[in-house]
A and B are shown apart, each in its own frame.
Chain A
């Protein structure tokens, strides 16, 4: 009944399913602990620098929609936005959030308002001034962000979310005005541009971890822990497989082929 050559894959898929769902359930009781994310550690320094220079911080989450395949990246970007807003509120730094998706506006407003309240600076928050819907078109949005960079000269620029061709335009423009930059995206083609230009980087899946860690959402945290178990299994299979191959035994290869 089972199709040969696909048995191990089926087993693996079922196992991953169990790990992911299991870890989500576990996370409801106790959230997993996360490793240090060096990109996030840079945030207090960035906010502090903006406070010293008395200049704003620019934040944006790229393109995509909350209903598409890149939605998880957008959600991660918003989670980090909450954290940045709280930090900035404490230091009295203005955060400018450039928005591409109109649907994100109400969520972002509430999120930033709460962050300012947590910092005890609810009056300092001005939604209209700080959350700017620029355009629903890629290049119009991109030019508008560049305009903000040129006019308001933010001390720091943070970009986390699904970025497309505009990644290079943004990072290059903010680099030119001397802003310190943190960027992260899980869109593989764009990571190199961020890596070239930005000071701090969240690479690929790191943004999901950052989002989950900061949001403390059990579904996301659990899901990441479930994936981690999968990575550990993959790691062990590779490691043992390499040793076995060196010892002349195809045992792991044959196992994977079943």
Chain B
């Protein structure tokens, strides 16, 4: 791991003949290995749900069978007829596409009640959030922005100044966090990635 990471970095920062092709090769390996991991989700589900089925977990095991059936059916159609074939495309659009689009959109309902019940001017911070949110909300409604044009420059300013600057501050902090995570992983102090816990974590961090 250390070698792979250092090689990729050296190739970027230094001009050393020979590293280029090696890194090209290495990156292709990365792609293939990642492709292998795409099956993990299915294996995890398989483990979990065979357990539900063998224990006849009330209210769950018939659905567990159904999940396994769906995994197999999808995989068979996709692998047999090709991932970009007509048949698989039909199956994808009937099931996965409709379901995933709907699942995430259903959160819109919760947001509506959240707006009604929770968006309150409790204190200065919440009031700021409320006011900025309300202005952006109105700007996002196209016809309102046309009818009340003053809202367009207001929203543009809110987006360009307070939002961008705060996000930038957060981004700088998060970038350092990502680098620190990388360092810890490379020197073997952050073994979470490798499916094993450090002693401290094993004890739950107390």
Contacts and interface: CB of A to CB of B under 8 A. Distances in A.
A/B contact in complex, CB under 8 angstroms? yes
A67 B189 CA distance: 14
Size class of the A contact interface (CB-based, 8 Å): 35 or more
B14 interface: yes
B129 interface: yes
B12 A217 contact: no
Contact of B202 (A10, A16, A107, A234): A107
B192 A67 contact: yes
B189 A79 contact: no
A97 to B, nearest CB: 11
A196 B206 contact: no
Contact of B173 (A102, A114, A204): A204
B204 A219 contact: no
Interface stretch (B24-32, B82-90, B112-120): B112-120
A2 B176 contact: no
Interface in B153-206: 170, 172-174, 176-177, 179-181, 183-184, 187, 189-190, 192-195, 197-198, 200-206
B110 interface: yes
Interface residues of B, number: 48
A220 B192 CA distance: 13
Contact of B114 (A13, A102, A171, A226): A171
B33 interface: no
Contacts of B119: 196
A223 interface: yes
Given A1-B15, A3-B13, A175-B118, A72 B204 contact: no
Contact of A78 (B103, B174, B189, B205): B205
A227 B177 contact: yes
A208 interface: yes
Contacts of B70: none
A236 interface: no
A20 B44 CA distance: 35
Nearest to B116: A172
Contact of A231 (B15, B173, B197, B205): B173
B2 interface: no
B190 A196 contact: no
A71 B205 contact: no
Contacts of A67: 192-195
A171 B118 CA distance: 9
Contact of A72 (B45, B170, B173, B190): B190
25 contacts: A1-B16, A3-B13, A3-B15, A9-B13, A16-B176, A16-B183, A20-B179, A24-B189, A72-B181, A78-B204, A168-B107, A171-B114, A172-B114, A172-B117, A188-B174, A214-B206, A215-B205, A217-B201, A219-B189, A220-B200, A224-B180, A227-B173, A230-B176, A231-B176, A234-B172
Given A107-B202, A171-B114, A219-B184, 19 more contacts: A2-B15, A20-B179, A67-B192, A68-B193, A71-B190, A72-B190, A82-B204, A108-B204, A114-B204, A114-B206, A139-B103, A165-B107, A172-B110, A193-B114, A196-B114, A220-B200, A223-B180, A226-B183, A231-B176
Interface of B: 9, 12-16, 44-45, 48, 103-104, 107, 110-111, 113-114, 117-119, 129, 133, 170, 172-174, 176-177, 179-181, 183-184, 187, 189-190, 192-195, 197-198, 200-206
